[in-house]
């Protein structure tokens, strides 16, 4: 799975994309409200780990993560 963190503008908030290995969009959510979207995408059991990674990666970078 891949995480992409994108910096917003004055009117558009910062957001995160979760994509699978085929780059299919699994979840798209604001950086400041990830919990509901992560659970809806089926990753509620890995929520803390995903949020930690989101907080660590810089904007504009994509990071591959392994949730096995």
Residue range 6-65, pLDDT digits in tens: 998 889 899 999 999 999 999 999 998 888 888 998 888 988 998 999 999 999 989 998
Please give the DSSP secondary-structure letter assigned to residue 12: S
Lookup: tokens for 3: 């995480």
Please give the DSSP secondary-structure letter assigned to residue 39: H
Domain count along the chain: 1
Contact 46, 52 (CB under 8 A): no
- What is the residue range of 26's domain? 2-64
**What global pTM score does this model have?**
0.82
Lookup: tokens for 10: 């004055």
pLDDT band for position 68 (cuts 50, 70, 90):
low
């Amino acid at each position: 799975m891949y995480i992409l963190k994108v910096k917003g503008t004055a009117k558009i908030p910062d957001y995160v994309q979760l994509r699978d290995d085929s780059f299919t969009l699994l979840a798209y959510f604001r950086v400041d409200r990830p919990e509901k979207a992560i659970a809806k995408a089926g990753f509620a059991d890995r929520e803390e780990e995903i949020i930690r990674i989101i907080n660590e990666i810089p904007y504009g970078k994509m990071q591959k993560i392994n949730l096995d």
